[in-house]
Structure 1
């Protein structure tokens, strides 16, 4: 009888611990995604500042599109980064831009507007 009680208590503790562990794991994945999105934003700004005269509105371009790649670089093409976690918090901001929510597997795209000098970040436009 004592053995059954011990097994029942252990089962209850495991039932409580597993959802907590899964939630912590998703929070870690979201933190990784946020860090990668911030690094991509920094890369976009570095590219814009480095190539300011080449890609500006002087050449008739109004905006430039970038995609976050799996290696952390941002380019017009490449192997797109896929988000690792499911973020339901719409208050995430990077460089003053709202990022919004994302799901596991969503891609990250950036658009730099030469007229306003702002970067728009969209997550979920492609996988």
Structure 2
């Protein structure tokens, strides 16, 4: 009888621990995604500022579209539909709006790609995770 009670207590503890562990694991994956998106943001800003066509005086207009790669670098693409050579896909899922590097990245699902659009006219950047 005592052994049956011990097994029942262990089963209850496991039933409580599994959802908690799964939630913590997803939080860690979302944090990884946020760090990688932030790294891509820095790569975009570096590319924009070292671009020979970029002008602080506002000589450059239009937008530049970038895709995040698995290694943290970004690839400049002609259109938002074009894929990067080795695209990064998110490893976590978040249902809440998320700010990354001060820019709203919104919620995303697992396996989503990351696109950055830099607007030369006002210096703003849009992050899309879809």
Q: TM-score, normalised by structure 2?
A: 0.87
Q: Distance in 1 between matches of 2:103 and 2:53?
A: 25
RMSD: 1.5
Task: For structure 1, list consecutive stretches of 5 or more residues without a partner in the other structure.
Answer: none
TM-score (norm 1): 0.89
Residues 29-77 of structure 1, C-alpha deviations (whole Å, 9 max, x = no match): 00000000000000000000011x4256746x50000000111110032
| 2:90 maps to 1:83 | yes
SS at match of 1:15: helix
Cα distance in 2 between the residues matched to 1:39 and 1:112: 15
TM superposition shift of 1:97: 1.5
Question: What is the aligned residue count?
Answer: 121
Q: State how far apart, in whole Å, the 1-side matches of 2:12 and 2:6 are.
A: 10
Measured in 1, the distance between the counterparts of 2:49 and 2:54 equals 10
Structure 2: segments with no counterpart, 5+ residues: 78-83
